[in-house]
Structure 1
Amino acid sequence: MPNPMTSELPPPLTGGKLAMGSLAVALATFMNVLDSSIANVAIPTISGNLGVSVDEGTWVITLFAAANAVAIPLTGWLTQRVGQIRLFVGSILLFVLSSWLCGVAPNLTFLLAARILQGAVAGPMIPLSQAILLGSYPKEKSGQALALWAMTATVGPIAGPALGGWMTDSYSWSWIFYINIPVGLFAAAVTWAIYRSRETTTRILPIDAIGLAALVTWVAALQIMLDKGKDLDWFASPVIISLAIVALLGFLFFVIWELTEANPIVDLRLFKGRNFLAGTIAISVAYAVFFANLVVLPQWMQQYLAYPAVNAGLVTAPLGIFAVVLAPVLGKLMPKAELRILSTLSFLGFAAVFFMRSHYTTGVDTFTLVLPTLLQGIPTALFFVPLTAIILSGLPPDKIPAAAGLSNFVRVFCGAVGTSLATTVWNDRAILHHAQLVEKANPGNPNYSAALEAIQSVMHLSPGQATAYFERQLNTQAIMLGLNDIFWISAVIFVAIVPLIWLTKPARGAASGAASAAH
């Protein structure tokens, strides 16, 4: 990070400045990633308060992620135009403003608009937080800087459901957004006070406006198509067909334009590199599955197990225990370890956790819910940093920022797509299981007749009431079986993408090399 008055890199921070600077940047990172998941457990409450369905309420999560993904590729251009520190602090302050707008939203339309703004201004914060932290530490401590970043980036989505549940139950859902205001103002003030003298040089560069417009067009069309598909009966709807055509043509135009543009907003030529291509696909597919499960699990607990929002959040909270404990160990292990082995262990660990969850029943107890979540912290700790190092391995230093931005864009966008697909597949599988169960629940089946008689006798219900009760139980079972399918498919996907890791060939010391190149 060159000083604007010289061409030299500013020296690493020391002492109190290093501690406070790391804290401020970490808090900004934490606040950012927290908002990717804090709304997860509040969706049923938000939907009820605003008078919309839970499926519509899920847009609060997916539109934030989609807007965030689109903004990430702009980070490089904005950094050179505005300056690294000014852009980071400005993004934090705009994030605070958009959080306040989310909190005061009177209806879903206003809330979604505020979430889109929030996701967009959050885009530059993650890549810039990495760069600022790496520039604050000596090169030999790059691993520690990356471990600190990974710890805050990992704990955010994990702490989000627990914190969001507590605030929703104890106060109101608006507070899941208001909490960002004091945190953001503190982080912005401290970052500006410590880092403003370390601002990067700026220069005016042309922006690829056509590429940006194409990117926004196909991403928006695809996301709306995925979110509205279930409600509109997918391709039986002219609206869905139109959105699919716009998304496809927009994507094809975007790819052709970016590959021929002199100053592309997204450097797609990076995908020519084996490490970047295989690593980005692996981390993006894995993140899509990981994040989608963080969304559907709390919803199921609240809607079908009658868990209060705070309890649903607390069930997911133990995920952070191993993730935090192992982060410093990983920082020391990374320079010597075989990154592909660490990533493989991560994926197999995720597969084992989701396989455990695929055996849940409607009578599942809290310990059985918590145990896989606790164990999931181990593969989570091994997830982000080794794969990021593989992705950046072998790239020249001048390509590192663009590569980090592009891989983050694909990962975050896949998280939004994965959430939409998971909720749709869950619904479809539940409908299928319901139909299969109903086939056996007919008056010609003596077991069905006996079950109805038992319900009437034990619960003192009329035949009509007993039938209605049986239907509710059958629906709950179908929902459970559909969710089990989601967990089982998730486990299979994690195993299936392991070979992608071994298509890469990271150089020795790739972790420290990538970190040093980012200085």
Structure 2
Amino acid sequence: MSSIARQAGADTPLNRPMITVSIMLATLIQTLDSTIANVALPHMQGTLSASQDEITWVLTSYIVAAAIATPLTGWLSDRLGVKKLLLVAIGGFTVASAFCGLAETLPQMVAARLLQGVFGASLVPLSQSILLDINPPARQGQAMAVWGMGVMVGPILGPTLGGWLTDSYNWRWVFFINVPIGAFAMFGVMSFLPDRPPRREVRFDAFGFATLSLAIGALQAMLDRGEQLDWFSSLEIRIEALLAVVSFAYFIVHTATAGSKSFFRYELLKDRNFATGTCFIFVIGAVMYATRALLPPMLQGLMQYPVATTGLVTAPSGAGTMVAMLLAGRLLRRIDARLLLLSGFLISAFALWQMMHYTIVLSMSDIVWPGVIQGFGLGLVFVPLSALTFSTLRPDLRADGTATYSLVRNIGSSIGISVIQALMTRNTQVAHADLAAHVSVYNPNLQSMVANGSRADLMALNHAINQQASMIAYLNDFKVMFIATLLVVPLILLVRPARQAPTDMAHAAMD
């Protein structure tokens, strides 16, 4: 069995339910904060006296800090021990959340968000590693379902909760809400989680961490600011791209030549399921998560939905995800995990096919049901993939493995969202030009309006063209996501089913 379970067995019985609740509360506040502040940005902008460009650093500072700090999880858990690291992470994240709510200036807010990202980076991989450690192989599918709900439902419910808190109270409560939840999580971890002795002999690979951090930070900054700065026409973007490529090249060479002294545990790549699952989660992040970035701006920008209403019609997709994850956790015992993956992708593709047929005029049910269906498909994909990825990985590699898994998922999501947003901007301009080309005195349907020269009529016509151009761009993005979802289906053939590795799974439960 795992070292945590063995440590508990030597002292007191392992209280799995309370450990699970405690670490999932910590995971929930971390994943919520990746999206909960989005809807509050206009309110924060006035309070903090920030411009439109400056206020985006409230989001990007958190993302960049979390991305850079995530690879440290494995080394820190070996050095400090899992329990101590988890307590430091929860405590630091909770205090940083309070600082965010108390911030009076933009620099104070950005500094507090940086602290949030640094302390919160290890919460998701640690929670996954602990759930895998405290559950036997037969229960790991259900454990990954519970973990997946916290990881996936948090970002989905973030805008809804953030909109409600901002409208009903104040934008500062978007951050203050973390304080009582974090306190409960800390109390639960202190009371119920057994400690695993740290490995004091582990050395820190400063060069490996520096090169990987620089590569991740430069890549994230390039993705966050690329659309705003027109991508590679900007000197800043070219410099960030060069830094990312050169730093990552140094990191690869260093990892290949440093052996056991390397910051990255190259033994992870020797596990076929982990290597395949990591590639898969990158694709899932790039293809499937990006679709969730399209609906809120479409509803608010084109259809004039209020913030609270937008949150209400998009939140049910989280219900579909939760139902699918609970169902998938049980079905893993009876059905080949690859069949669940296939079903999940096909269901998600069907939801995207429905979104491809959106129009300017939509009822709430037209928005809710495709979201629920897509959420259900995503849940069917996430649980079996997580279980298969770690089914054959040695327990001593899990902290590093879960950190790498979370990091790759986040990078895939960032790349997918950036590509979709870039396509959105480009396709809107192309569609607008195509539609505007038909506005002419030679068009019999528009002759009277153009000849009359009424400014109000022309403004109304331009507004209609802008709306239609944006709608066409959204539909093209949904089409791209639909095709990409179908194209990644063959990757399922690379995943080895768990039943072919019973010996490996038995070893995974021992330390």
TM-score clears 0.5: yes
How far the C-alpha of 1:220 sits from its partner, in A, is: 1.5
2:31 pairs with one of 21, 30, 33: 33
Shift in Å, 1:131: 3.0
Q: Does structure 1 residue 483 correspond to structure 2 residue 474?
A: yes
- For the residue of structure 1 that corresponds to 2:37, the secondary structure is coil
The answer (yes or no) to whether the contact 2:93–2:116 under 8 Å persists in 1 is: yes
1:89 alignment partner in structure 2: 87
User: How far did 1:59 drift?
Assistant: 5.0
- Does the CA contact (< 8 Å) of 1:168 and 1:309 recur in 2? no
State the shift of 1:182 in Å.
Answer: 0.8
Distance in 2 of aligned mates of 1:490 and 1:13 = 51
1:191 is aligned to: 189
**Alignment deviations for residues 419-462 of structure 1 (CA, whole Å, 9 cap, x no partner):** 23322221121111111111112333222334668xx9xxxxx8
Query: Shift of the alpha carbon at 1:494?
Result: 1.1
Give the whole-Å Cα distance in 2 for the aligned partners of 1:149 and 1:13: 26
Corresponding residue number in structure 1 for 2:455: 464
- Opposite residue 149 of structure 2, the aligned amino acid is M
- Preserved CA contact (<8 Å) 1:65 1:413: no
Residue aligned with 1:42, SS: helix
Match of residue 494, structure 1, among 469, 481, 485: 485
> 1:367 & 1:512 partners in 2: Cα distance?
48
Of the three residues 276, 282, 299, the one matched with 2:274 is 276
RMSD of aligned C-alpha atoms?
Answer: 2.9
Query: Relative to structure 1, is the Cα distance of residues 510 and 404 closer, same or farther in structure 2, using a 3 angstrom cutoff?
Result: farther
State the one-letter code of the partner of 2:475: N
Residues 1:428 and 2:419 are matched in the alignment: no
Q: What is aligned with 1:211?
A: 208
Conserved? CA contact 1:316–1:370, under 8 Å = yes
* Structure 1 residue matching 2:319: 3-state secondary structure: helix
8 Å contact from structure 1 (residues 62, 417) kept in 2: no
Matches within 5 A, 1:441-452: 441-450=439-448
Cα offset, 1:511, TM superposition: 9.8
Structure 1: stretches of 5+ with no match in the other structure: 457-461
Paired residue secondary structure (2:313) = helix
* Aligned CA distance change for structure 1 residues 200 and 391 (closer, same or farther; 3 Å): same
How many aligned residue pairs are there?
508
2:241 is the counterpart of 1:244: yes
SS in 2 for 1:359: coil
Q: Specify the alignment match of 2:330 in structure 1.
A: 332
Residues 104-141 of structure 1: CA deviation (Å, up to 9, x unaligned): 34455543443332222112111221233344445543
Q: Deviations over 1:64-87 (max 9, x none)?
A: 334323322211110111111111
Does structure 2 retain, via aligned residues, the 8 Å contact 1:292–1:422? yes
- 1:91-240 equivalence runs, <5 A: 91-137=89-135, 140-195=138-193, 197-240=194-237
1:214 Cα deviation (Å)?
A: 0.8
Judge conservation of contact 2:126–2:402 (CA < 8 Å) in 1: no
Matches for 1:313-392 after TM superposition, within 5 Å: 313-392=311-390
Write the letter of the residue equivalent to 1:412. Answer: N
Determine if contact 1:66/1:412 at 8 Å carries over to the other structure: no
Within 2, Cα distance between the matches of 1:207 and 1:50? 39
How far does the alpha carbon of each residue in 1:211-245 deviate from its partner, in whole angstroms, 9 at most, with x for none?
A: 11111211121222222223323222222222221
1:259 corresponds to: 256
Distance between the aligned counterparts of 1:289 and 1:504, measured in 2?
A: 18
Percent identity reads 36
Aligned-pair distance for 1:53?
A: 6.7
CA distance in 2, matches of 1:355, 1:446: 35
What's the CA shift for 1:19? 3.5
Per mean C-alpha deviation after superposition, the further-off stretch among 18-27 and 253-262 is 18-27
TM-score (norm 2): 0.90
- Which whole-Å CA distance do the structure 2 matches of 1:301 and 1:48 have between them? 23
Task: Structure 2: give runs of 5+ residues left out of the alignment.
Answer: none
CA distance in 2 between counterparts of 1:278 and 1:132 reads: 22
CA distance in 1, matches of 2:148, 2:502: 13
Which residue is equivalent to 2:508? 517
Q: TM-score, normalised by structure 1?
A: 0.89
* Cα pair distance change 1:214/1:490, threshold 3 Å: same
**Residue of 8, 14, 17 corresponding to 1:19:** 17
Aligned partners of 1:44 and 1:299 also within 8 Å:
no
Q: Name which of 75, 78, 83 aligns with 1:80.
A: 78
Cα 1:513–1:383 shift into 2, 3 Å: farther
Q: Which amino acid aligns with 2:489?
A: V
How far off is 1:178 after superposition?
A: 1.5
The structure-2 alpha-carbon separation of the partners of 1:509 and 1:145, relative to structure 1 and needing over 3 Å to count, comes to: farther
Q: Quick check: 1:143–1:515 contact (8 Å CA) kept in 2?
A: no
Distance 2:137 2:60 in 1: 37
CA contact (8 A) 1:29 1:129 kept: yes
Kindly state the Cα deviation for residue 161 of structure 1 after the two structures are TM-superposed: 2.0
Kindly tell me: are residues 288 and 117 of structure 1, through their superposed partners in 2, closer, same or farther at Cα, counting changes over 3 Å? farther
Summarize the Cα distance change of 1:192–1:472 in structure 2 as closer, same or farther, 3 Å threshold: same
Q: Secondary structure at the match of 1:373?
A: helix
Identify if the C-alpha distance between structure 1 residues 58 and 369 changes in structure 2 by more than 3 Å, giving closer, same or farther.
Answer: farther
Deviation sequence 1:443-490 (CA, Å, 0-9, x none): 33222334668xx9xxxxx81121112112211221111111211111
Seen in structure 2, the aligned counterparts of structure 1 residues 267 and 439 have a Cα distance that, compared at 3 Å, is farther
How far residue 88 of structure 1 moved from its aligned partner, in angstroms, is 0.6
Shift of 1:518: 6.2
SS at match of 2:498: coil
Stretch moving more, 319-328 or 102-111: 102-111
Change (3 A) 1:67 1:343: farther
State the Cα distance separating 1:11 from its structure 2 match. 2.7
CA–CA distance in 2 between the matches of 1:401 and 1:108? 35
For residues 505 and 457 of structure 2, what CA distance do their matches in structure 1 show?
64
SS class of match (1:383):
helix
Please state how far the C-alpha of 1:149 moved relative to its aligned partner: 1.9
Distance 1:64 1:203 in 2: 30
Q: Distance in 1 between the 2:394 and 2:406 partners?
A: 18
Q: Which residue of 2 aligns with 1:459?
A: none
- The alpha-carbon deviation at position 97 of structure 1 amounts to 1.8
Instruction: Indicate how the Cα distance of structure 1 residues 504 and 17 shifts in structure 2: closer, same or farther if over 3 A, else same.
Output: closer
Which 10-residue stretch deviates more, 274-283 or 356-365?
A: 274-283
Q: What's the offset of the Cα at 1:146?
A: 2.7
Q: Is the alpha carbon distance of 1:82 and 1:404 closer, same or farther for their aligned partners in structure 2, counting shifts above 3 Å? A: same
